C-alpha cells in the first residue's frame, strides 16, 4: 500500500518514541530502560482505544532490535529489522491477536516456540494484542514462562480491559497506563496533519473532531480523514458541515432548548428539537449531550475556560451561568435521573425520536409549568424574563411528583370513589402495616415487616433502609397503593442509615423475652423437675 492510499491513522503512525503524543513520561521511562539494558521481561500497555498501545509495542520491539540502537532508532530509512517489524513479518517478532487465538493450545505453541533463540535479531519478542481475551487456562500456562523467561525473550501485552487480566499475570509485567490525550495537544496534532494533507479545515471543526474523539488519536485521525474526503476542491470544512458529517450539533442550540424547557415554552422546545433532529443527530447522542449540559449547569462555578475544554465557548458559558443561578440542585439531579431512564428507553423503541420528544414534554409536565397557578404567574412574560425569575417560581409545587416519577412510572392507579372522598390518613408505619392487613395486601405487608427498616415516617414521606431480599417492584407497588388509599403522592426515600429493626425482628425479640420470662417462672421449674425431657413449645399469655 502506497503512502497516499493509506488512511491517516496508518500513514502518520508514530515510528519512534518522540513521535508519540500525550505519553511522554512513559516513552522516556521505557527508552531509558532499554538504553541502560534494564528492559522488563514483560510490558503491559493498557488504556482506551486509539491512544497508542499497539504502536508502543512495535516501537519497543524496534528499540530492542534496531541495528542503529535505541538512541538512533529508525524513523524513515528503516534497517532490515525495523522494516520487518513495521510490516509485521519479522521472523523473531511474533504478533498475535488474542481475540482470535484464545485457547491454551495456542499459548502452548507460543511457549514451545520460545524455547529456541532468535534467528537474526537480538531478542525474540511476542506481542499479544487484546491479551484479556485469553482463557483462564491460557493465562495459567503462560505464568511460569512469563516470570522467568530466557534472556533473549520479551513479552509485550496490550489491552483495553485490564480488569479482565488475572492479578498473577499483571504482577509479572511492567504495567503502563496510557492516558487520554489532552484536548489542546490533540488539536495541535491534527492541525499539523491537516496542513500536511493540504486540507482546509476551520479550527472550530477541528475542535469538534477533538471533542468527539474523546482523547483517542486514532479516532481523531479517522474523523479528520472522513471530513477531508467529504469536501471537494477548495471547499473548507467548517463547523456546520462538520456537524452534518459527524451527526453532531451546536451546543448553543441545546442550551437554548433547555432554557425554553425550564421556561415552559412547549412550542419553542418542539421547534428547536426538530431543528436539531433535522441535522441528522442521533437521539441517543442528543440525550448524552443533554446530560452533559445538565452537568455544566450543576458545576458551572467550578469550570474554567482554559483552552482544554472545547465543549463550551464564552457565550455558552455565560448562558449556562445565568440558567444555573435560578435552578435548584434537586431539580437538576432529578432531571439527570430521568434522562438516564430515557436513554435506556430509546434502546428498545422502534422510533427513538418519538421517545425523545415525549421525554422533553414530560419534563415540562413534571416540572409543573402547565398548572394553572404557574401559568397565571408566568402570564405576559417571555422566556428571557423567566430565566431570571426567583428560584421559587421555577421549582413549583410538583416537586413531589418529580421525586416520585420513577416510582409511579406511567401507571395511574384506579381510585375508588369512597377512598378518594375519605382520603385515609396514615399516621405511622405501624398503621400502614395494619392497613395492608385490612386491604389484604399480603405481599406488601410481608415486605414491610420483613425486608424494610424504618428510618423516619411523616405524612407524605417514608424513609427506609432495606436488605437484599426486598422485592424489585416494592417501591412502585407501595407508591401506587398509598396513592389509592390517600389520593396523595407519597415519596418513598431509600436511606443509607440503618434504621429501626424490622417488625419481624421485633416480634422475634418479643417472643424470646416471653420464653425467657416463662423459663424463669416457678411453674416451668416445677414441670421440668417432674418431667426432665419436657420442652417448652409455646407460651400463651392471659389477658390479665
Same domain, 213 and 283: no
In the three-class reduction of DSSP (H, G, I as helix; E, B as strand; rest coil), residue 247 is classed as coil
Counted domains in the chain: 4
Nearest to 138 by CA among 177, 96, 174: 96
Same domain, 255 and 241: no
Report the chain's terminal Cα–Cα distance, integer Å. Answer: 100
For residue 95, tell me if it sits in a domain: yes
* Bridge partners for 42 per DSSP: 155
Longest dimension (CA), the chain: 111
For residue 266, tell me if it sits in a domain: yes
Output the domain CATH number for residue 305.
1.20.272.10
For residue 366, tell me if it sits in a domain: yes
For residue 410, tell me if it sits in a domain: no
> Where are any strands of DSSP class E within 237-305?
none
For residue 295, tell me if it sits in a domain: yes
> Where are any strands of DSSP class E within 138-194?
153-159, 174-177
Distance CA 249, CA 208 (A): 10
Same domain, 52 and 195: no
Buried b (16+ CB within 10 A) or exposed e, 189-216: bbeebbeeeebebeebbbbbbbbbbebb
- State the pLDDT at residue 312: 60
In the three-class reduction of DSSP (H, G, I as helix; E, B as strand; rest coil), residue 212 is classed as helix
For residue 199, tell me if it sits in a domain: yes
Buried b (16+ CB within 10 A) or exposed e, 128-162: bbbbbbbeeebbebbeebbeebeeebbbbbbbbeb
Q: What is the β-pairing status of strands 461-466 and 452-458?
A: antiparallel
What counts of helices (H) and strands (E) characterise the chain? 27, 8
Cell (9 digits) for 502: 424490622
Per-residue pLDDT tens digits of the chain, which is 544 residues long: 455 557 888 888 998 998 899 889 999 999 999 999 899 999 999 999 999 999 999 999 999 999 888 888 888 888 889 988 888 889 999 888 888 887 888 888 888 888 888 889 899 999 999 999 998 888 988 888 888 888 899 999 999 999 999 999 999 999 999 988 888 899 999 999 999 888 888 888 898 888 888 889 999 999 999 888 888 777 888 888 888 788 776 677 888 888 888 777 888 888 888 888 887 778 888 888 888 888 888 887 776 544 345 556 667 777 778 887 777 777 788 888 888 888 888 888 888 888 888 888 888 776 544 333 333 433 444 444 433 443 333 343 333 433 444 444 444 445 444 444 446 788 888 888 888 888 888 888 888 888 888 888 888 888 888 887 888 788 888 888 888 888 888 888 877 777 777 766 777 777 777 777 777 888 777 778 777 777 777 777 766 5
Nearest to 41 by CA among 31, 33, 51: 33
Same domain, 238 and 274: no
Distance CA 460, CA 83 (A): 74
The last residue of a domain, from among 214, 246, 278: 246
Distance CA 227, CA 206 (A): 10
**Counting Cβ atoms within 10 Å, is residue 321 exposed (0-12), middle (13-18) or buried (19+)?**
middle
Distance CA 442, CA 419 (A): 20
Same domain, 95 and 42: yes
Cell (9 digits) for 359: 421525554
Output the domain CATH number for residue 469.
3.30.300
Distance CA 209, CA 242 (A): 8
Same domain, 227 and 270: no
Same domain, 324 and 195: no
Same domain, 343 and 476: no
Output the domain CATH number for residue 238.
1.10.8.60
For residue 65, tell me if it sits in a domain: yes
Cβ atoms of residues 155 and 113 within 8 Å: no
Distance CA 17, CA 56 (A): 8
How many Cα atoms occupy the beta-carbon half-sphere of 77 within 13 Å? 2
Q: Which domain holds residue 193?
A: 183-246
Query: Is the four-CA dihedral 86, 89, 93, 96 of positive or negative sign?
Result: positive
Same domain, 353 and 475: no
Distance CA 113, CA 119 (A): 12
Distance CA 222, CA 156 (A): 26
Nearest to 370 by CA among 269, 488, 271, 264: 264
For residue 64, tell me if it sits in a domain: yes
**Counting Cβ atoms within 10 Å, is residue 542 exposed (0-12), middle (13-18) or buried (19+)?**
exposed
The last residue of a domain, from among 366, 397, 428: 397
Kindly state the helix (H) or strand (E) to which residue 26 belongs, with its residue range.
Answer: helix 24-35
Same domain, 134 and 52: yes
- State the pLDDT at residue 59: 93
Distance CA 473, CA 388 (A): 40
Distance CA 125, CA 105 (A): 19
Same domain, 341 and 241: no
Q: What is the DSSP letter of 460?
A: T
The last residue of a domain, from among 157, 177, 197: 177
Q: What is the DSSP letter of 310?
A: -
pTM for the structure as a whole:
0.58
Nearest to 14 by CA among 30, 2, 27: 27
Cβ atoms of residues 139 and 104 within 8 Å: no
Q: What is the dihedral of CA 459, 465, 469, 475, to 10 degrees?
A: 30
Contacts 24+ apart (CB under 8 A), 446-452: 447/471, 447/474, 447/478, 448/478, 448/503, 449/502, 449/503, 449/504, 450/502, 450/503, 450/504, 451/502, 452/502
Output the domain CATH number for residue 50.
3.40.50.300
In the three-class reduction of DSSP (H, G, I as helix; E, B as strand; rest coil), residue 174 is classed as strand
Same domain, 278 and 157: no
* Bridge partners for 503 per DSSP: none
* Bridge partners for 95 per DSSP: 127
In the three-class reduction of DSSP (H, G, I as helix; E, B as strand; rest coil), residue 111 is classed as helix
Nearest to 61 by CA among 32, 28, 84: 84
Cell 499497539 sits on residue: 54
Amino acid at each position: 500500500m502506497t503512502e497516499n492510499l493509506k488512511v491517516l491513522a496508518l500513514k502518520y503512525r508514530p515510528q519512534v518514541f518522540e513521535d508519540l503524543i500525550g505519553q511522554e513520561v512513559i516513552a522516556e521511562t521505557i527508552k531509558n530502560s532499554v538504553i541502560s539494558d534494564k528492559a522488563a521481561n514483560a510490558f503491559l500497555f493498557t488504556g482506551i482505544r486509539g491512544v497508542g498501545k499497539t504502536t508502543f509495542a512495535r516501537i519497543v520491539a524496534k528499540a530492542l532490535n534496531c541495528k542503529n540502537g535505541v538512541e538512533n532508532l529508525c524513523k524513515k530509512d528503516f534497517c532490515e529489522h525495523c522494516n520487518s517489524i513495521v510490516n509485521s513479518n519479522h521472523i523473531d517478532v511474533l504478533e498475535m491477536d488474542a481475540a482470535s487465538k484464545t485457547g491454551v493450545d495456542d499459548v502452548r505453541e507460543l511457549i514451545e516456540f520460545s524455547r529456541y533463540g532468535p534467528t537474526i535479531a537480538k531478542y525474540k519478542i511476542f506481542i499479544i494484542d487484546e491479551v484479556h481475551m485469553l482463557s483462564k487456562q491460557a493465562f495459567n500456562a503462560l505464568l511460569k514462562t512469563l516470570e522467568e523467561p530466557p534472556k533473549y525473550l520479551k513479552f509485550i501485552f496490550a489491552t483495553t480491559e485490564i480488569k479482565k487480566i488475572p492479578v498473577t499475570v499483571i504482577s509479572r509485567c511492567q504495567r503502563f497506563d496510557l492516558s487520554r490525550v489532552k484536548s489542546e495537544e490533540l488539536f495541535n496534532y491534527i492541525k499539523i496533519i491537516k496542513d500536511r494533507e493540504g486540507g482546509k479545515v476551520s479550527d472550530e471543526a477541528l475542535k469538534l473532531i477533538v471533542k468527539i474523539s474523546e482523547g483517542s488519536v486514532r479516532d481523531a485521525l479517522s474523523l479528520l480523514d472522513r471530513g477531508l474526503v467529504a469536501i471537494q476542491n477548495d471547499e473548507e470544512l467548517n463547523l456546520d458541515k462538520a456537524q452534518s458529517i459527524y451527526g453532531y450539533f451546536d451546543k448553543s442550540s441545546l442550551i437554548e432548548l433547555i432554557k425554553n424547557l425550564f421556561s415552559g415554552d412547549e412550542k419553542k422546545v418542539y421547534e428547536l428539537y426538530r431543528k436539531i433532529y433535522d441535522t441528522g443527530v442521533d437521539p441517543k447522542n442528543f440525550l448524552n449531550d443533554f446530560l452533559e449540559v445538565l452537568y455544566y449547569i450543576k458545576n458551572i462555578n467550578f469550570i474554567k475556560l482554559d483552552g482544554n475544554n472545547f465543549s463550551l465557548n464564552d457565550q455558552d458559558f455565560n448562558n449556562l451561568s445565568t440558567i444555573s443561578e435560578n435552578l435548584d440542585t434537586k431539580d437538576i439531579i432529578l432531571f439527570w435521573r430521568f434522562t438516564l431512564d430515557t436513554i435506556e428507553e430509546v434502546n428498545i423503541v422502534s422510533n427513538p425520536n418519538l421517545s425523545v420528544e415525549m421525554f422533553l414534554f414530560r419534563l415540562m409536565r413534571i416540572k409543573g409549568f402547565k398548572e394553572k397557578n404557574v401559568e397565571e404567574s408566568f402570564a405576559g412574560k417571555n422566556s428571557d424574563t423567566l430565566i431570571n425569575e426567583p428560584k421559587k417560581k421555577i421549582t413549583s409545587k410538583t416537586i413531589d411528583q418529580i421525586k416520585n416519577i420513577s416510582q409511579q412510572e406511567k401507571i395511574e392507579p384506579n381510585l375508588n370513589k369512597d377512598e378518594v372522598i375519605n382520603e385515609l390518613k396514615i399516621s405511622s408505619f405501624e398503621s400502614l402495616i395494619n392497613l395492608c392487613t385490612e386491604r389484604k395486601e399480603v405481599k406488601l405487608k410481608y415486605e414491610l415487616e420483613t425486608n424494610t427498616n424504618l428510618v423516619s415516617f411523616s405524612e407524605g414521606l417514608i424513609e427506609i433502609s432495606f436488605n437484599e431480599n426486598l422485592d424489585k417492584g416494592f417501591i412502585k407497588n407501595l407508591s401506587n397503593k398509598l396513592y389509592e388509599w390517600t389520593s396523595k403522592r407519597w415519596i418513598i426515600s431509600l436511606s443509607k442509615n440503618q434504621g429501626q429493626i424490622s417488625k419481624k425482628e421485633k416480634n422475634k425479640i418479643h417472643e424470646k423475652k416471653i420464653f425467657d420470662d416463662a423459663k424463669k417462672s416457678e411453674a416451668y421449674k416445677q414441670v421440668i423437675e417432674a418431667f426432665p425431657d419436657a420442652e417448652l413449645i409455646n407460651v400463651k399469655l392471659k389477658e390479665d
